[in-house]
Amino acid sequence: MQPLDPSPHAPANPQKARSGLNRIWHATGYSLEGLRAGWNEKAFRQEAIAAVVLVPLSFWLGRSWVEMALLAGSVVIVMIVELLNTGIETAIDRIGPEWHDLSKRAKDMGSAAVLLSLLLCIGIWSAALFQRFFHG
């Protein structure tokens, strides 16, 4: 016979029971773990290395704070979407290695989101470079 659980309504995830600064502290740790896990993905690593160059360059290229924010933000958005795509792929892979139409659709949509974020970034940077060097 199993002993009765003294707290039948206890959350399965201990993070849910935390509050205040303790919750923020642990959530920050989980976020840093996510960034470390992302670093192990080749695409994210390439985008992070590009960001090391492009984000500081955005402060030189942008002529106003709005332009700087658009340039730097578009680079960061690519990294965010890449992390989300990797999360989708990881969750799908956890379910099982067999091929399934819904798994393929989820992975394809994640990939499409990355593509759209890259096109947005390229468009913003192209417009800024054109304005800076060819439009006066």
Query: Is residue 34 scored above 60 in pLDDT?
Result: yes
Tell me, rounded to whole angstroms, the distance of Cα 100 from its chain centroid: 25
Per the annotation, where are the binding residues for ATP? 23, 30, 41, 89, 98-100, 107-108
Concerning whether 33 is annotated as a catalytic residue, the answer is no
pTM summary value: 0.82
Which member of 71, 81, 82, 117 is catalytic? Answer: 82
Average pLDDT rounded to a whole number, residues 6-25 = 72
In total, how many domains does the chain have?
Answer: 1
- Identify the pLDDT of residue 5: 52
Residue 20 domain flag? no
| Enclosing domain of residue 64 | 42-135
Per the annotation, where are the binding residues for a divalent metal cation? 41, 89
Which CATH number belongs to the domain containing residue 74 in this structure? Answer: 1.10.287.3610
Count the neighbouring beta carbons within 10 Å of the beta carbon of residue 78.
25
Element (H, E) at 77: helix 65-95
HSE toward the beta carbon, residue 19, CA cutoff 13 A: 1
Residue 69 domain flag? yes
Q: What is the pLDDT of residues 74-105, one digit of tens each?
A: 999 999 999 999 999 999 999 988 889 999 99
